[in-house]
Structure 1
């Protein structure tokens, strides 16, 4: 029997430099951005359908999520000036630059909309700010997936097709789940629908991703990332299963909403740690490169 090969690099150093982003700062930022972006969109739907309690919950969630996410991002960068420096240039080919220009105006608009909603002052300005935040919400919820996939980290880069759908579904599930927890049953209908659709999209996109990326699926299924993502999928599935029964039960609605929120948080931590694991192991760099060379040689 030939033993399994061990992939190593010179002097035991990894081939790729592992990202230096902090934990839990960055995974929480990924979660809060998704929840905030989807909440801003949910608030506008609630406004159009005449659900004032849902409008307030969603606008406060959008403002609080983007504000806390911005604070976590600044903490990861080390100094506030570094975030401000990213706003000096707009580079359309850089997801980080585009994301900075999405986050900054979204936070201001979501904050103004929430302040107007809570205080009752300047309603026209608050309405316009809410519309602006709602327009930017989908981009805020998904740009972080593009940011991760644009790196050389194998598990993130290989998942570039499905990861935005995973994050979009997860953000929608979180926003809808929070609405189910904090909104009266008679006004939580749009939140329930958003959470359920988001949960189904997240589960389907995750499954499609794991089937397509081949070898790199290992890091999403083994070790700590595998445990986190397995629990995340289970919680999301529980939320989807319970949502239809939450229309008339405050308890079931709360449990389902909390399941969506927990699944969304763990999805971000699982994806983040899977990327770090793939950067540490030379196998996820060497084997795909050899496969690409072999396919190129056989086709020529």
Structure 2
């Protein structure tokens, strides 16, 4: 019989070993016999040929160390639309307080449409609608998903009341509301404040949800990712307002666009710099890296257009579309980058080794990572 290890065996000299006695065998005491043959007669083991080649660490049978999150395009769409809805809630409140009726109407309607389609995408990913209702049975402050369900519901309530008022006015009060119309008008202003109260958490909680997983790239970005998502939400909301609203009322949206672009670029650069190079690799390479690179380009182009040419209707609309595309690419890119980082064990092992070496260099030997090392 032969095996793949035959090539590592020393050549056969053709001499037969003697059984027993002084010359060989398990009970012999000769220089070449017995279990200590490799340690006597000048043998120190240096002549032995390795049976296993030096290999680089991968994982158990080449399988991923971390299981990827089972999220696809519906969740990416929810991430984008949820951010847009949150940004529109803030813009709608600003328009409400400054008397910009058209901007107020458009941002409220955009918020309702975004949150409606986003919630449908979330339910589609869950598989059954009752799964979303099950998350509403309790409030768990340590669970981003539980808090996110309540944030989404709270925002939807206020956004729904304000949007119904706008639709009723847009149709000349032809909706069959009856006595409910007076109640809706009375609740309109408080509902606008209530929606704005949940707007920023709605834009940011999805970043916390991603970072709270064991996915290497998402978890490594936990400190800066909420700032990236809030800035991205500002781009989407400002862009949608610039597309749908006359330039005479888009000044708040243009200011929000400039702030959003600045925050997005700065937060993204800080995020990558504070990550291990291996953890940041999916953000810079492959399809996800290409999406994020184009997101930055479109954000900068849209921001320049909003500031320089925002007074022109065509330029404003083009800039708004650019900002919305940048926001969408950011959300899709981050989702794909995280999933990509679960496919290769190096995204888990190499940063851990670097953190261990850093602790040892600082003399830390009594924590859960370096103990016994």
TM value normalised by structure 2? 0.77
Select which of 325, 328, 351 maps to 1:262. Answer: 325
Name 2:104's counterpart in structure 1: 55
Equivalent pairs, count: 296
Alpha-carbon displacement from aligned partner over 1:246-293 (angstroms, at most 9, x marks no partner): 332111001110000000000001101110011111001001111122
Larger Rg: 2
TM value normalised by structure 1? 0.96
Name 1:11's counterpart in structure 2: 61
In the alignment, structure 2 segments of 5+ residues that lack a partner are: 1-54, 170-180, 364-373
Pick which of 36-45 and 288-297 moved more. Answer: 288-297
1:225 aligned onto 2:288: yes
Shift of the 285–123 alpha-carbon distance from structure 1 to 2, 3 Å rule, reads: same
1:275 aligned onto 2:325: no
Tell me by how many angstroms 1:108 deviates: 2.1
In 2: Cα distance, 1:18 partner to 1:114 partner? 38
Alpha-carbon displacement from aligned partner over 1:221-262 (angstroms, at most 9, x marks no partner): 000111000111110010111112333211100111000000
The structure 1 segments of at least 4 consecutive aligned residues displaced by more than 3 Å after TM superposition are none
Name 1:69's counterpart in structure 2: 118
Alpha-carbon displacement from aligned partner over 1:195-235 (angstroms, at most 9, x marks no partner): 11111111110011111112211110000111000111110
Name 2:258's counterpart in structure 1: 196
Tell me by how many angstroms 1:174 deviates: 0.7
Q: Is the 8 A contact 1:117 1:126 kept in 2?
A: no
Q: Is the 8 A contact 1:236 1:259 kept in 2?
A: yes
Name 1:209's counterpart in structure 2: 271
**Structure with the bigger percentage of helix:** 1
Q: Is the 8 A contact 1:117 1:123 kept in 2?
A: no
Q: Is the 8 A contact 1:174 1:261 kept in 2?
A: yes
In 2: Cα distance, 1:290 partner to 1:105 partner? 43
Name 2:305's counterpart in structure 1: 242
Residues 1-300 of structure 1 aligned to structure 2 (within 5 Å): 7-21=57-71, 23-120=72-169, 121=181, 122-215=184-277, 216-300=279-363
Tell me by how many angstroms 1:7 deviates: 4.5
Question: How big is the alpha-carbon RMSD for the aligned residues of Structure 1 and Structure 2?
Answer: 1.4
Tell me by how many angstroms 1:298 deviates: 2.6
In 2: Cα distance, 1:20 partner to 1:99 partner? 18
Q: Is the 8 A contact 1:42 1:191 kept in 2?
A: yes
